[in-house]
Structure 1
Amino acid sequence: MLKLLSILPTSWTKRIVQSAVLLRNPYILGVRVIVENEKKQVLLVRHTYLEGWYLPGGAVDGGETLDKAAAREVMEEAGVIAAETPRLLGMYLNREATGRDHVGLFHLREWSKADSFLNPNTEIAEAGFFAPDALPDTLSPATGRRLDEFRTGSYPAGAFW
């Protein structure tokens, strides 16, 4: 399915994924995680089915806490094992997708590498650490806003993603 989504235009892919999720649940709760390394670089991922670079993250599973979802997502997407409970920085409403998506932004400082560290998989085409002054040109706008807020300590600057 991800292979099919990767060949469709990005706008179609987003709409298909959002529609499928809405059929299961009218409200979506997700997480994104700012993972820093010892050089204060941040972890970003590039999906196989979307253009641009994003903070790692995804949907919270039924019965799962937000912090557990944050730890699971960084493991699944980048092979990062949380050595601490990720710290919640803020909650946001994402009006761009369905208007009903809520995103918890987390920070993870203490972590270790799994065998799958930064390895591509069916969902993630590429993952890597970037210095704040050397972020990819194709960084998603929301990711850029969250990183700016994080660097200045002014999160959340607004309640919207």
Structure 2
Amino acid sequence: MAWHHRLAGRAARLVWFVTRPRTFGVRAVVTDAAGRVALVHHTYLRGWYLPGGGVKKGEGAAAALARELAEEIAIAEFRIDRVLGVYHARREYKDDHVVVYVVSVPEDAEGSMRRADALEIAEARWFAIDDLPEDISPATRRRLDEYRAGAVGGGTW
């Protein structure tokens, strides 16, 4: 992990402890024609996660999703298939709400998936849904289990 990202993360958690902000984010279960899912490994976190991030002020959730997928995994062409769920988290002293979308990429776009921002993303890869990495984040595993079961999620992140 990059030391400057760890330092920034600690500073952010201190600010969040004092201010207890409400945040809004989006993540995506990105699938290709072979049924694989795209996961990212951040430079500042351990483990694999669904791509996504925060919704900026004045930005809609779908627009934020498009921006985050382009910024993190260089995917500009995709179709939103459904909303997997809306989740609430109180970690890191935030009141965080996350919308998780299920999106698919056309066959000609799946080969272009890669880490787009080397400062934020250490690695981006496709994984077979039944062969996920061992160090996947617990919340990501829960979301993918819901996706595999065809469930509509919601509740606690």
Aligned to 2:43, which of 35, 45, 48?
48
Deviations 1:5-53 (A, max 9, x none): 24x6xxxx65433444677882110111010011100000000011000
1:109–1:64 CA distance, 2 compared to 1 (3 A)? same
1:72 aligns with 2:67: yes
The answer to whether the 8 A contact 1:70-1:86 is kept is: no
Counterpart of 2:79 in 1: which secondary structure? coil
The corresponding residue for 2:5 is 5
1:88 positional shift: 2.3
Q: Which has the bigger relative contact order, CA under 8 A and spacing at least 6? A: 2
Percent of aligned pairs with the same amino acid: 40
RMSD: 2.7
**Corresponding residue number in structure 2 for 1:61:** 56
Consecutive unaligned residues in structure 1, runs of 5 or more: none
In the alignment, structure 1 residue 126 sits paired with structure 2 residue 123 = yes
Match of 2:26 in 1: 31
Tell me which moved more, 125-134 or 92-101: 92-101
8 Å CA contact retained: 2:50, 2:140? yes
- Cα deviations across residues 45-79 of structure 1 (Å, max 9, x unaligned)? 00001100000010001111111111111110000
Trace 1:89-104 onto structure 2 (pairs within 5 A). Answer: 89-104=84-99
Give the structure 1 partner of residue 150 of structure 2: 153
Which segments of 5 or more consecutive residues in structure 2 lack a partner in the other structure?
Answer: none
Asked whether the equivalents of residues 20 and 95 of structure 2 are also in contact (C-alpha less than 8 Å), the reply is no
Question: Which 10-residue stretch deviates more, 22-31 or 142-151?
Answer: 22-31
TM-score normalised per structure 2: 0.84
Q: What is the count of residue pairs matched by the alignment?
A: 154
- Tell me which stretches of 4 or more aligned residues in structure 1 moved more than 4 Å: 20-25
In 1: Cα distance, 2:9 partner to 2:28 partner: 21
Q: TM-score, normalised by structure 1?
A: 0.82
Name the residue aligned to 1:136.
Answer: 133
Q: Distance in 1 between matches of 2:97 and 2:71?
A: 21
